[in-house]
Amino acid sequence: MSSTAVSTVLPMFIAGERRESRGHAEQLFNPATGAPTVIFQHSTRDEINAAVDAAQAAFPAWSRTPVLQRCRVLFHFHGMLERHADELIALITEENGKTLEESKGSFQRGLECIEFAGGATSLMMGDTVERVGTGVDGYSIRQPLGVCAGITPFNFPFMVPLWMYPMAIACGNTFVHKPSERVPRSAMRIAELLHESGLPPGVLNVVHGARETVDALLTHPKIRAVSFVGSSAVAKYIYATAAANGKRVQALGGAKNHSVVMPDADLRSAAQVVMASSFGCAGERCVATSVVVAVGDIADPLIAELRRIADSMRVGDGAAPGSEMGPIITPEAKKRIAGYVDAGIADGATLVRDGRKDSCSQSSGNFLGPTIFDNVTPQMKIAREEIFGPVLSVVRVKNLQEAIDLINSSQYGNASSIFTRSGNTAREFVTSTQTGMVGVNVGVPAPTAIFPFAGWRGSFFGDLHALGKDSVQFYTESKVVTCRWPED
């Protein structure tokens, strides 16, 4: 296990060193066992300023380090992470609760972000037009911004930070990361490993805390850009506040994702995939299927199959071999999710499977068994709001158009998917669905790092998304040069 995992007080990481904080302390707990893990401290304003100053001081040398050398550090980092894979995967599971298999998947997706950022050498290339005027050439170059900040959620402690700073630093920026106050240990450990891989001190710094720490970053005059991933209400706040303070912002928010199952779909495989998409990571994924839209007469057999799979799902400590679903992040989150089950019943939905009655839900960890509602209507609270837990709603509709209209009426627009054997139906769905990420015969998809993570509407605030070529544009400023050399 990592050095941070066994220490009792979690430090910050500033200017290449672990630093103890003087801020307000909180005890963190393992979500599966309820056992205390580390004491976490909210960074003070002075400590946050020290982190930003360290990033600012590192910027001139790092931004002038050739891009090939910057990428070489990322290649070393990639190898370092692979060598520490078992330790990191265990740490993700211990602090977040997801199963080891899920942690392994998110670890791999994190590595993909580094692989993509390692191509900054070509991704940063500008354009050239010779002779835009007589004897005049025009070309564009991409330059780093300066100090960037990243604020991340609890559900992917390893992967989401890697959506941000590998590309930011490959482009020549320096960075201050504020991980979720519920899962700060993975972030600390990977920052240490990045420095052991040759990153100069100050290029990446880690501070801790919640709203106060975030506010200090959003209003800090030396920070040029803010990347955020979290819930929509906070994303909107981050977007407005950081923009009002003159910063470039990308703020990825929450989601309510739909999977449409057409009457011609392969029922068994669609049900398997939907269940993995809904209950993987205990439904704590921004790309979880939260609503199944059953079209026509597939509804009855589909619900029977979803229930059969849910009944056989092994819920337990994510670290235990064979666990298929781990706990919810905190007891408060479990209570909030159980409240949605009450709301579904009160609104008149049919509770097909009540996970609150499963034996796991009575144990000491934050477990909640898989829960399924049928006959959910679009007006119900469970159909409209992000539950972010193991609760799946089934809405029955008559045809494809009704399914598309339902998706397009959601306040969110993160992702959706369709299960069908018809190319024409799939094509119509891809064209007409107003979500930024669309899947065909796959669960609600999270694209690989080479594409942007492209939420729409209430799921994203900003212009340039995380990952893909958008991230290169986000973390660089474009400069256009018009150049004439007079004849001697």
Q: Give the residue nearest to ligand NAD (CB).
A: 230
What is the rounded CA–CA span in Å between residue 382 and residue 342?
Answer: 10
Among the listed residues 386, 418, 443, 444, the single contact to ligand NAD using CB under 6 A: 386
Helix/strand/coil for 389: coil
**In sequence order, what are the beta bridge partners of 372?**
353, 392
Among the listed residues 97, 157, 166, 254, the single contact to ligand NAD using CB under 6 A: 254
Rounded to the nearest whole angstrom, what is the least distance from the CB of residue 412 to ligand NAD in the complex?
A: 9
Residues in Cβ contact with 78 at an 8 Å cutoff, skipping those fewer than 6 apart:
111, 114, 115, 118
Evaluate whether 204 touches 194 at the Cβ level (below 8 Å): yes
What is the rounded CA–CA span in Å between residue 377 and residue 262?
Answer: 18
Token pair of 487, please?
A: 């004849």
Which CB, 63 or 99, lies closer to ligand NAD? 99
Which CB, 57 or 240, lies closer to ligand NAD? 240
- Residue 234 CA: distances (Å) to CA of 23, 214, 394: 23, 10, 28
99 binds ligand NAD (CB under 6 A): no
253 binds ligand NAD (CB under 6 A): yes
Evaluate whether 114 touches 333 at the Cβ level (below 8 Å): no
**Binding span for ligand NAD by CB under 6 A among 142-150, 176-184, 242-250, 334-342:** 176-184
What is the rounded CA–CA span in Å between residue 45 and residue 58?
Answer: 20
Site string for ligand NAD, 124-163 (x = CB under 6 A): ---------------------------xxxxxx---x---
286 tagged catalytic: yes
Among the listed residues 10, 55, 214, 328, the single contact to ligand NAD using CB under 6 A: 214
24 binds ligand NAD (CB under 6 A): no
Rounded to the nearest whole angstrom, what is the least distance from the CB of residue 415 to ligand NAD in the complex?
A: 9
Which H/E stretch holds residue 440?
strand 437-440
Site string for ligand NAD, 220-239 (x = CB under 6 A): ---------xxx--x--x--
Among the listed residues 55, 73, 167, 286, the single contact to ligand NAD using CB under 6 A: 286
Residues in Cβ contact with 88 at an 8 Å cutoff, skipping those fewer than 6 apart:
2, 81, 107, 158, 186, 189, 190
Rounded to the nearest whole angstrom, what is the least distance from the CB of residue 26 to ligand NAD in the complex?
A: 12
Evaluate whether 154 touches 183 at the Cβ level (below 8 Å): yes
Residue with tokens 């580390």, as numbered in its chain: 38
Rounded to the nearest whole angstrom, what is the least distance from the CB of residue 237 to ligand NAD in the complex?
A: 6
Which H/E stretch holds residue 295?
strand 289-295
Which CB, 123 or 214, lies closer to ligand NAD? 214
- CB-based burial label for 40 (10 Å; 0-12, 13-18, 19+): buried
**Binding span for ligand NAD by CB under 6 A among 73-81, 210-218, 274-282, 429-437:** 210-218
Q: Which of 149-172 are b and which e, b meaning 16 or more Cβ less than 10 Å from the residue's Cβ?
A: bbbbbbbbbbbbbbbbbbbbbbbb
Judged by CB under 6 A, the number of residues near ligand NAD is: 29
Catalytic residue among 71, 113, 286, 360: 286
Rounded to the nearest whole angstrom, what is the least distance from the CB of residue 254 to ligand NAD in the complex?
A: 3
- State the DSSP string of 246-287: T-EEEEE----EEEEE-TTS-HHHHHHHHHHHHHGGGG--TT
Rounded to the nearest whole angstrom, what is the least distance from the CB of residue 226 to ligand NAD in the complex?
A: 11
Among the listed residues 15, 57, 141, 210, the single contact to ligand NAD using CB under 6 A: 210
28 binds ligand NAD (CB under 6 A): no
The beta strands (E) that lie in 15-60 are given as: 17-19, 25-29, 36-41
Rounded to the nearest whole angstrom, what is the least distance from the CB of residue 183 to ligand NAD in the complex?
A: 8
Helix axes 100-117, 67-83, angle to 10 degrees: 160
Give the residue among 310, 300, 393 at the shortest CA–CA distance from 351.
393
What is the rounded CA–CA span in Å between residue 76 and residue 231?
Answer: 33
417 binds ligand NAD (CB under 6 A): no
181 binds ligand NAD (CB under 6 A): yes
Q: What are phi and psi of 433, to 5 degrees?
A: -80, 130
Which CB, 59 or 460, lies closer to ligand NAD? 460
388 binds ligand NAD (CB under 6 A): yes
Which CB, 40 or 475, lies closer to ligand NAD? 40
Which CB, 70 or 178, lies closer to ligand NAD? 178
Which CB, 92 or 397, lies closer to ligand NAD? 92
What is the rounded CA–CA span in Å between residue 464 and residue 239?
Answer: 12
Residue ranges in 449-488 that form contacts with ligand NAD under rule CB under 6 A? 453, 455, 459
Site string for ligand NAD, 255-274 (x = CB under 6 A): x-------------------
Residues found near ligand NAD in the complex (CB under 6 A): 151-156, 160, 178, 180-181, 210-211, 214, 229-231, 234, 237, 252-255, 286, 386, 388, 414, 453, 455, 459
Residues labelled as active-site residues: 286
